Amino acid sequence: MTVVHPHGLSAPTLTDAEIAGIAASFVDARRGATALADFPGPLPADLATAYAIQAAAIAGWGDEVAGWKVARVPPALEERLGAMRYIGPVFARGIRRFDGGDLSFPVIPGGFGAVEAEFAVQVAADAPADKLDYSPAEAGAFIGAVHAAIEVAGGPLAPVNDLGPTAATSVFGNNTALIVGERVPTDDEGGGTAGADALRAEVLIDGQSVGVGSTAKLPGGIAAALAVALGTAARVGRPLKAGQWVSTGALTGVHAIAIGQSARVCFTGFAPMSGIAVAAMPAE
């Protein structure tokens, strides 16, 4: 497996052989839809090493990166990791448009699966490769549209959430899929987020409410999350492209879901998005 050191980050603290071995384990497990009971090598101590593993796994997976998920670093770990958020790839084959019908949420048996109510931004313009830091105001210029969305989080690594953000970043960012729902109207049909900020989201699992929330749960709001995606994607050598999607973080929490359970994700005034968690199939 090819290992490259992302040019915009500090040098990884694991060897190239360790990075390649861990990435290969993640690619094999995802391809075979088989679970991993533990991290398949030394757990990275820092996000730069986790991104090097993620980059090798992306290269080994072989699908187009069509967007990124942005996730929170738990506040207690922010200082040690030097970040409030991390990102992970959303692959082209993992993006689905909600058409009003029943959904399915793939979960690897024995792995980890979760659903999250999120807003997904469609990127308005190609980002420059050499700009590595963005303010939320600068990021706002890249917002083409905002849609209600569901992140299907998870993957093969069962204890991913206990192991923390370096594990989640390494294992494809702990993302399985992104379901893009209705577009949120804005006054100018451009890049404003006021329409999204006014909405409330709720997630129900097996008919029971497990969380309510809004963009008030996103520190700095949608534009701040997008700023992290813009900067970090450039740092790992994959600057955002027009048309890509960025899911901007959990509005109501990370809601674990087991195969056979149902989830319903509701945004104020929008048609609910409902589906069942199903066993992920091995990739062809």
Ligand X SMILES: C=C/C=C(\O)C(=O)O
Q: How far apart are CA 195 and CA 207, in angstroms?
A: 27
Residues 38-57 that bind ligand X (CB under 6 A): none
249 part of the interface to ligand X, by CB under 6 A: yes
The distance of closest approach from Cβ of residue 213 to ligand X in the complex, given in angstroms and rounded to an integer, is 11
Q: How far apart are CA 36 and CA 82, in angstroms?
A: 28
Name which of 90, 122, 94 is nearest 241 in CA terms.
Answer: 122
What 3 state SS string does 178-241 have? Answer: EEEEEECCCCCCCCCCHHHHCCCEEEEECCEEEEEECHHHCCCHHHHHHHHHHHHHHHCCCCCC
Closer residue to ligand X (CB): 1 or 180: 180
72 part of the interface to ligand X, by CB under 6 A: yes
The distance of closest approach from Cβ of residue 94 to ligand X in the complex, given in angstroms and rounded to an integer, is 14
Who contacts 162 (Cβ-Cβ below 8 Å, separation ≥6)?
none
116 part of the interface to ligand X, by CB under 6 A: yes
Closer residue to ligand X (CB): 103 or 114: 114
Who contacts 256 (Cβ-Cβ below 8 Å, separation ≥6)?
112, 113, 114
Q: Which residue is nearest to ligand X (CB)?
A: 71
User: Among 18-26, 131-139, 205-213, 247-255, which window interacts with ligand X (CB under 6 A)?
Assistant: 247-255
18 part of the interface to ligand X, by CB under 6 A: no
Q: How many residues bind ligand X (CB under 6 A)?
A: 11
The distance of closest approach from Cβ of residue 225 to ligand X in the complex, given in angstroms and rounded to an integer, is 9
Q: How far apart are CA 275 and CA 272, in angstroms?
A: 10
250 part of the interface to ligand X, by CB under 6 A: yes
SS3 76: helix
Closer residue to ligand X (CB): 153 or 199: 153
Closer residue to ligand X (CB): 20 or 108: 108
Q: Which of 174, 232, 244, 252 binds ligand X (CB under 6 A)?
A: 174
71 part of the interface to ligand X, by CB under 6 A: yes
SS3 127: coil
184 part of the interface to ligand X, by CB under 6 A: no
User: Among 4-12, 66-74, 262-270, 275-283, which window interacts with ligand X (CB under 6 A)?
Assistant: 66-74
Q: Which of 47, 83, 120, 153 binds ligand X (CB under 6 A)?
A: 153
| Residue 31 one-letter amino acid | R
8 A C-beta contact, residue 86 and residue 204: no
254 part of the interface to ligand X, by CB under 6 A: yes
To 10 degrees, what angle do helices 47-61 and 16-32 make? 50
The distance of closest approach from Cβ of residue 283 to ligand X in the complex, given in angstroms and rounded to an integer, is 21
Binding site for ligand X (CB under 6 A): 69, 71-72, 114, 116, 151, 153, 174, 249-250, 254
